Structure 1
């Protein structure tokens, strides 16, 4: 091979291996930036989908209140049913970021910061995958992953954990694979993570699997490095105590898995269902079939990590993204070694095609254009977008009616309207903070209101909580009971919400 034809004129005279490495880095960087631009454009085009969750409202509101009060909540002040009960905003920093974006650019700012987090995740994912897998394979894998992970693309603090968990996993497993000490600067990253979102405890588990992989590789032959891995593992939970709530933030992350009664009623906490998640089932079966047919050899530590994340995938729909994001990162290097045709190393030794030569030659211009396009798209969106949360969760017409007609007192609201009520300073009956509140039989009773035997439960709740009006979705199963209750009448109705008031 003659390298003179492929070396850009502005590159210094380097050894052949260094030239190939530099070319590879330039092409990889352009690919990663291009993927970010594509994903950003796609998400901006469907920006309203990022505000489809009823929790978007209260996540922003909590952040706004923290900014206004310069303090963090320790008891509930947003509901009338559990007012004064212990409640912590364990994702306070993520909520502050969302609130800051809202104060600056409205809901367009919230969408943009959400997309920015996805873009950063995409870049990191593509960068680490492309270190092992050739460009065309990296592009295909990243496109598949970002498509199937899109269910968690939402304006909630979880979105800020995505780039962190990708970087955390990639760096730790790479250190184990290279038989090196874990990068201790990652302790700062998990400290940040602990203040952004409750999934930081998964960081402990990922570090444990990476440490186990390191131990399996070196056994006891390198006690000094092994001691560093043990120290890193012990420091992980300690540094995450650097948050406003201390150990409470860690304990709060386990409430969902400890018999939380709300889990059975919230879709994202339900187990994987092949009947409703057809696309995910196809992907899962395809991966399993590929593992069987290709007879790829997987280290037992990787297999254990695969099974752990697959367990989460099957047990809770919301954790499917962990398996989809992290397993490819862990397995990429081994796949590249066992199938050289897919590897970056083999690709580096091949002749560059016309496109690759153009990228390496005009690298600075191309990257400049891509970055400029990203900034231009962002500026246009932030200045001209009118994106807003879904009408299905906003109840804007109903709340306008309530304000105009002076409706006051305690409200009985549908679950999906809890967020918008909090945002508009109306205390809720129930809302999306079911990881800590609305438990001890409350959630079960609320669900039973919509059953055939629910009328007495509804009447009891109305009396116990001094309910003066109700804000419900048009298909709420308690509506027939409200039509039968003495003194109650339908005061408002549109395609998104219904209001009943108590004339007594």
Structure 2
């Protein structure tokens, strides 16, 4: 007897139980959304949020897809594509509707949807309480990637994609062709769409581990589906260029080691995540849980991706629970949804079921009220560590002109305000061929000659530096004058 049959026979109140399950998931998602609203400014700490919104705004204004760099003077005219154009347009639409408050609201809604989907798919196999606890823990562990950037829009997609593909393999059926639409959407939202190919491959391996070669027609359907994934991803304004641009980062470039999110996992800085991973490993070693070689390989892959690059933490913490939930439910029946459905509903669950529509309506009202408060009362703004608002106001008042040498974290705000950059966060495609390495070297102890050469090479007219930029002493030694300074930014002008 499979789980679906067990659930159908277990209880006559399946509809009420499903309503309770739905409300459990909604409660978890709303709790996460509320916490994020309380810390909304943290979603705008990334300097790239500025230029991501600006690219979307420019697209909406011009309705053209850029093919060369329009935002820097150091690489002006060099090949550059807005490969994440749809995610950038969504951010721009949110900004147009409500400024940075609108951007934050959209990001929070997307994260809330991700948490809801996590709870929903997990509770298909596990008890709802356990499912939402796991969803909440996963949401907490991946919080560092919650920024106003297009990758957030792919989180619900990767949850749906992974859960449904492994469910299809579990049930020994072909994946739904409608899932290919998710690849198209993913490809236009963010460059991580190539992960869809990898996840589909692991799901196919899991099916192979279950049936071997006993069902060749089914295997052929999976192979065809896997081959179609990269084909449909070409439904993109830039076609194959989007895949090629993604691969240049996947194989590494000179900027990767210098950017925090691309650095390897550091146990000294991530004590909580290290503890969670070690506890999970300990649990797998001492328990009788058996997940098979294909799923074990998937876990190894996600762990490797996270340990190699911190930005991929969500692959491990979001996807591993989705992949192993079936085995947990089957091998530990006390934790399964089937057991929960067979049990008598407790008082709280009965209350949920009886007042389902009233509670749902109240939740909707509360969410609308919270969004209204976020949009009208609490004014959200990007971090002053990336905005340089005071320094840019001074630059406007003083009519500063010419090429600016800027700290990396100020590249986004310069783009947003229409000032050509020296360097910014688009290092996946630009500022290569030794440029980023040389820029980093100017901040080392022996970097003054390199800095002086760059000031001449690029005809720098003024410098906008972060208050902690290690090049500040070099500017003073080279005779540049400090024209402006605050807690976050410094402006230097050439000496007389």
**TM-score bin (small chain):** over 0.9
Q: How many angstroms apart in 1 are the aligned matches of 2:50 and 2:65?
A: 18
Summarize deviations over 1:273-322 as a string: whole Å, max 9, x none: 10111111111111111111213111111001000111001100000111
> Is this contact kept in 1: 2:10–2:341, CA < 8 A?
no
Task: Say if 1:287 and 1:355 are closer, same or farther in 2 by CA, change over 3 A.
Answer: same
Equivalent in the alignment of 1:491: 483
1:184 and 2:177 are equivalent in the alignment: yes
1:168 and 2:161 are equivalent in the alignment: yes
Equivalent in the alignment of 1:364: 357
1:128 and 2:130 are equivalent in the alignment: no
Alpha-carbon shift at residue 213 of structure 1 (Å) = 1.1
Q: How many angstroms apart in 1 are the aligned matches of 2:15 and 2:275?
A: 38
Structure 1 SS opposite 2:463:
strand
Task: Say if 1:15 and 1:326 are closer, same or farther in 2 by CA, change over 3 A.
Answer: closer
Q: For 1:55-134, list aligned pairs within 5 A.
A: 55-134=48-127
Alpha-carbon shift at residue 258 of structure 1 (Å) = 2.3
Equivalent in the alignment of 1:297: 290
- Larger displacement relative to structure 2 (212-221 or 158-167): 212-221
Match of 2:143 among 150, 165, 172: 150
> Is this contact kept in 1: 2:191–2:242, CA < 8 A?
yes
- Larger displacement relative to structure 2 (129-138 or 153-162): 129-138
Equivalent in the alignment of 2:254: 261
Q: How many angstroms apart in 2 are the aligned matches of 1:271 and 1:351?
A: 48
Structure 2: give runs of 5+ residues left out of the alignment: 1-6
> Is this contact kept in 2: 1:449–1:458, CA < 8 A?
yes
Q: How many angstroms apart in 2 are the aligned matches of 1:139 and 1:123?
A: 8
Alpha-carbon shift at residue 16 of structure 1 (Å) = 5.7
Equivalent in the alignment of 1:375: 368
Q: For 1:62-461, list aligned pairs within 5 A.
A: 62-461=55-454
> Is this contact kept in 2: 1:414–1:472, CA < 8 A?
yes
Q: How many angstroms apart in 1 are the aligned matches of 2:362 and 2:107?
A: 23
Alpha-carbon shift at residue 447 of structure 1 (Å) = 0.7
Alpha-carbon shift at residue 115 of structure 1 (Å) = 0.6
Task: Say if 1:15 and 1:83 are closer, same or farther in 2 by CA, change over 3 A.
Answer: closer
Alpha-carbon shift at residue 20 of structure 1 (Å) = 4.0
Q: For 1:15-26, list aligned pairs within 5 A.
A: 17=10, 19-26=12-19
> Is this contact kept in 2: 1:20–1:349, CA < 8 A?
no
Alpha-carbon shift at residue 503 of structure 1 (Å) = 4.2
Q: How many angstroms apart in 2 are the aligned matches of 1:242 and 1:482?
A: 49
Summarize deviations over 1:11-48 as a string: whole Å, max 9, x none: xxx98646343233111100111112111111111000
1:38 and 2:38 are equivalent in the alignment: no
Q: How many angstroms apart in 2 are the aligned matches of 1:428 and 1:322?
A: 33
Alpha-carbon shift at residue 251 of structure 1 (Å) = 1.0
Q: How many angstroms apart in 2 are the aligned matches of 1:58 and 1:406?
A: 23
Alpha-carbon shift at residue 492 of structure 1 (Å) = 0.3
Equivalent in the alignment of 2:3: none
Structure 1 SS opposite 2:366:
helix
1:474 and 2:444 are equivalent in the alignment: no
Q: How many angstroms apart in 2 are the aligned matches of 1:15 and 1:51?
A: 46
Q: How many angstroms apart in 1 are the aligned matches of 2:383 and 2:140?
A: 21
RMSD over aligned Cα atoms: 1.3
> Is this contact kept in 2: 1:272–1:313, CA < 8 A?
yes
Q: How many angstroms apart in 2 are the aligned matches of 1:16 and 1:221?
A: 31
Summarize deviations over 1:163-213 as a string: whole Å, max 9, x none: 000000000000000011101101111100100001100000000111111
Q: How many angstroms apart in 2 are the aligned matches of 1:77 and 1:151?
A: 30
Structure 2 SS opposite 1:492:
strand
Alpha-carbon shift at residue 333 of structure 1 (Å) = 1.0
Alpha-carbon shift at residue 336 of structure 1 (Å) = 1.1
1:47 and 2:47 are equivalent in the alignment: no
Structure 1 SS opposite 2:405:
strand
Alpha-carbon shift at residue 240 of structure 1 (Å) = 0.6
Q: How many angstroms apart in 2 are the aligned matches of 1:215 and 1:184?
A: 19
Alpha-carbon shift at residue 323 of structure 1 (Å) = 0.6
Structure 2 SS opposite 1:254:
helix
Structure 1 SS opposite 2:255:
helix
- Larger displacement relative to structure 2 (160-169 or 342-351): 342-351
Alpha-carbon shift at residue 230 of structure 1 (Å) = 1.2
Alpha-carbon shift at residue 343 of structure 1 (Å) = 0.9
- Larger displacement relative to structure 2 (59-68 or 247-256): 247-256
Q: How many angstroms apart in 1 are the aligned matches of 2:226 and 2:136?
A: 33
Structure 1: give runs of 5+ residues left out of the alignment: 1-13
Structure 2 SS opposite 1:368:
helix
Structure 1 SS opposite 2:250:
coil
> Is this contact kept in 2: 1:172–1:210, CA < 8 A?
yes
> Is this contact kept in 1: 2:119–2:128, CA < 8 A?
no
* TM-score, scaled to structure 2: 0.97
Summarize deviations over 1:333-361 as a string: whole Å, max 9, x none: 10111111111111111111111111112
